[in-house]
Chains A and B, each alone.
Chain A
Amino acid sequence: MNVEQIGDFGRARASDYSGQVVLISNVCDEIGAGVARDLASMNAIVGLCGVDKKALQSLFTEITDRGGRAIALPISTAEAVSEVVDDVYTRIENIDILVNNLGATADCGIAELSVHDFKNNIDSSLVRSFAFLREVVARMRSRGYGRIINITDLSYLGLAKKGNLAAAHAAIFGLTRSIALETAPAGITVNTLVKGDMSAADMSVSDAEKIAKRIPVKRIGTVADVVHAINFFSAKSTAYVTGQTLFVCGGMSAYFSMSV
């Protein structure tokens, strides 16, 4: 799969999500939008959540114009998650797959990181992820089926100037394992996908080349790379895979302990 193929609504695909509903907690970045396009192209109904109303509306229009089915769900606080999830259940009566994609932040060393900013970051990534999990898991449990993927990144293993994100994402790692143990008997799988260095629209070619040099496979990641792993964890056929941490990082995790 290459980038151009993501969300190719006309292409025959190996998977089909007809009748399934996917809720994505943040589609206002390239990964979240890419996952939404991909799953919608395979006939899933996608619930698009995000803070940026303009980006949300633009993605909603794009998907529906191409024949996909989507719901736009603007959301600004963790407290609003309950309302949004209620809304989805009222309108569609179901959520089969939850993709939690929360946690972007700027680099910041501990001396510059205020307690206030640290708390804000924990709120916008960890607490909001938890809020989605809490609302969705209960309903999935009553149906006896669910697929949950929490997206984090390599910083959870500890990277300089990433303390705020490391703390939030390390917590999501533990949260994933706890919920996986709690929900395994109910047919729900919960897994963590750990992103490595990803390409971004605002990344220069020279920066991308510099980063790629230190990655074992000698390239940076793309939305398509993440989408491939999301598809694996989202499939009905992966019922026996739960509580796991999969790095989509071009082999960078092999430089770290705590990555197996």
Chain B
Amino acid sequence: MGFADRVAIVTGSASGIGRQTALRLAERGAAVVINDIDGDKVRNTVDEFRRNGWRVTGVVSDVSKKAEVENMVKETIDKFGQIDILINNAGLERAGALRKLSESDWDLTIDVNLKGAFLCTQAVHGYMVEKKYGRIINISSRAWLGGPGQAPYASAKAGLVGLTRTLTLELGRNGITANCIAPGLIHTPLWEELPEKDKAFLLSKVPTGQLGKADDVAEAVLFFADDAAGFISGQVLYVCGGRSLFSG
């Protein structure tokens, strides 16, 4: 169950869930493209991964810009010659009460989380169709189910579910699967900045009572990215300690 013959693009992979996913793919033999808008973070991640002898390259690009996405895909093909796995992970959140959200909050959140996934998928799918093989994994969020203050984010992440199901029906005949992962509370740098009482409140909503790890999500990505997962498509898998069952 290795990935030695596979090439993966992981967007937003210089930190957090994306980085851990890239790491797990690379350590199991995949050639991996590290992408972020922060050049220093991309370089640091690539350097660190290369020290382990892993096959990686870095591409600094904004996934919400078509030209930059096309450049990332061209660089991937130039370097590795194929694209088998696309992890649409790049994302951000602009949260706030409806009356306080600006048009730019909405646009930015939709552009990076949703339009970015569309542009990346559009740019890579031809290579997958050509090979009659592909694994597309969209990192949505449990928040797509809706939450106060999350209008742009929930909408963007819900959009990824519709995109995933559409890709399943449109590309399935070409050996391409598309699946969604919906993480719940995951340990990120942002978590550390929260006041203790907020942490306790959020954890009280998780049935397992635990905070998830980036690796919990990476594990699910590897499951869908595997050659053996060719009959699994159009799915939304929550990695959330059971919080999707009831969050009230």
- Minimum CB–CB distance from B113 to chain A (whole Å) comes to 17
Given A240-B239, A241-B220, A185-B208 contact (CB < 8 Å): yes
Name A176's closest neighbour in chain B (CB-CB).
B245
Which bracket fits the contact residues of B?
Answer: 35 or more
Query: By the criterion CB–CB under 8 Å, are A217 and B230 in contact?
Result: yes
- Minimum CB–CB distance from B215 to chain A (whole Å) comes to 8
CA distance A254 to B172 in the complex (A): 11
Interface presence of B234 (CB below 8 A): yes
CB-contact partner of B165 in A13, A249, A254, under 8 A: A254
Set of chain B residues within 8 Å of A251, measured between Cβ atoms: 168-169, 172, 177, 233-234
Set of chain A residues within 8 Å of B245, measured between Cβ atoms: 177, 180-181, 243
Among the 9-residue stretches A27-35, A51-59, A76-84, A224-232, the one with 4 or more Cβ atoms under 8 Å from chain B is: A224-232
- Minimum CB–CB distance from A260 to chain B (whole Å) comes to 5
CA distance A181 to B220 in the complex (A): 21
Set of chain A residues within 8 Å of B172, measured between Cβ atoms: 215-218, 250-251
Given A180-B207, A248-B232, A253-B235, A240-B177 contact (CB < 8 Å): no
The residue in A217, A225, A232 that gathers the most chain B C-beta atoms within 10 A of its C-beta is A217
Interface presence of B53 (CB below 8 A): no
21 contacting pairs across A/B (C-beta < 8 A): A1-B227, A14-B1, A181-B207, A184-B241, A217-B173, A217-B231, A219-B231, A225-B231, A229-B232, A232-B223, A235-B219, A241-B216, A241-B237, A242-B241, A243-B207, A248-B232, A250-B231, A250-B233, A251-B233, A254-B234, A260-B161
Residues in chain A within 8 A of chain B (CB atoms): 1, 13-14, 177, 180-181, 184-185, 196, 215-219, 221-222, 224-225, 228-229, 232, 235, 237-244, 246-251, 253-255, 259-260
Beyond the given pairs A237-B215, A240-B213, 20 more chain A to chain B contacts, judged by CB atoms under 8 angstroms and listed by A's residue number, are A13-B1, A181-B246, A184-B208, A185-B207, A216-B173, A218-B173, A221-B231, A224-B228, A225-B228, A225-B231, A225-B232, A238-B219, A241-B220, A241-B239, A248-B232, A249-B231, A251-B172, A254-B233, A254-B234, A259-B234
Please list the 9 inter-chain residue pairs (A to B) with the smallest Cβ-Cβ separation, ordered nearest first. A216-B172, A184-B207, A254-B234, A225-B231, A251-B233, A240-B216, A251-B168, A228-B228, A254-B165
Residues in chain B within 8 A of chain A (CB atoms): 1, 161, 165, 168-169, 172-173, 175, 177, 184, 207-210, 212-213, 215-216, 219-220, 223, 226-242, 244-246
